[in-house]
Amino acid sequence: MSRLLPLLLLAALGCATKLRRRPAAWDDGAAAERGAPKGCANLTLVLDNWKFAITSQLRNLLQFHPQTVLPDYGRIRALSGALDGLHRELSALKEQLGRLSGRFAEVEASVERLGRARGPAPAPRRRAPPPPPPRSPL
């Protein structure tokens, strides 16, 4: 890719010098209208050449030097291994959470049995509200 950019710039400068013709004087735009289609055709030709050069360079890079364009697959394998380890840890945590939920269900059932064995719980005693503070005369 670093070799492609200078080549493209060199081609652009070469084409730009060919396109640059300065007329001595403009005659109310008539010469400009006559020169515009030719310049447009030249520009289209330059852009087509650039497109062909860019696509052929990319095709050659992908065929012969893919490591310069594509990611390093060695890192992807390491990432895949790390994700597998994380998945194993998460599934182990899920199993442990299921076991803990079962234990809590057993504890909750035994607490309910103890509560029923004691009978109804006595109503909590209510405290009397504190007396209001004395009002100061104004």
Q: How far apart are CA 105 and CA 111, in angstroms?
A: 10
Q: How many residues does the chain have?
A: 138
Phi, psi (5° rounding) for residue 14? -65, -45
pTM of the predicted model, to two decimals?
Answer: 0.32
CB 14 within 8 A of CB 45: no
pLDDT at 31: 53
Q: Which residue has the higher pLDDT, 58 or 4?
A: 58
Tens digit of each residue's pLDDT (9 = 90 or more) over 14-69: 766 655 555 555 445 555 555 555 667 788 888 889 999 999 998 888 888 887 77
Q: Answer whether 53's CB lies under 8 Å from 8's CB.
A: yes
- What are the sequence ranges of the domains in the chain? 1-21+33-70, 72-117
Long-range contacts of 112-116 (CB under 8 A, 24+ apart): none
**CA distances in angstroms from 113 to 106, 110, 116, 118, listed in the order given:** 11, 5, 5, 9
